Amino acid sequence: MSVELTRDGGIATVTFSDPPVNLYSLRLHEEFDAALEQVEAELPRVLVIRAEGRIVSGGVDVSEFNSRTSREVTKELYDRMLELPDRVEALPIPTVFAAHALTLTWAFEVALACDLLLTSEKARFGLVERVIGLTPTMGGTQRLAARAGVARAKELVFTGAQYDAATLERWNVVNRVYAADAFEEEVRSFAEGLADGPTKAFGAAKDILRQYEAGGVPAANAATTSIASALFDTEDLRHGMESFLTDGPGNATFHGR
At 94, is the pLDDT very low, low, confident or very high (cuts 50, 70, 90)? very high
At 60, is the pLDDT very low, low, confident or very high (cuts 50, 70, 90)? very high
> Would you say 125 and 108 are in contact if contact means Cβ atoms under 8 Å apart?
yes
> Would you say 252 and 243 are in contact if contact means Cβ atoms under 8 Å apart?
yes
Helices first, then strands: H and E counts in the chain: 10, 9
Dist CA 164 CA 168 (whole Å): 7
Q: What is the pLDDT of residues 175-224, one digit of tens each?
A: 999 999 999 999 999 999 999 999 999 999 999 999 999 999 999 999 99
Q: Calculate mean pLDDT across residues 149-156.
A: 98
pLDDT at 68 (0 to 100): 84
Mean model confidence pLDDT for the chain: 95
Residues 6+ apart with CB under 8 A from 246: none
Query: What is the dihedral sign for C-alpha 28, 31, 33, 36?
Result: negative
> Would you say 183 and 146 are in contact if contact means Cβ atoms under 8 Å apart?
no
At 49, is the pLDDT very low, low, confident or very high (cuts 50, 70, 90)? very high
The CATH architecture that domain 3-195 belongs to is Alpha-Beta Complex (3.90)
Query: What is the dihedral sign for C-alpha 151, 157, 160, 162?
Result: positive
Domain ranges of the chain: 3-195, 199-247
Three-state DSSP state, 116: strand
Three-state DSSP state, 189: helix
Model-level pTM? 0.95
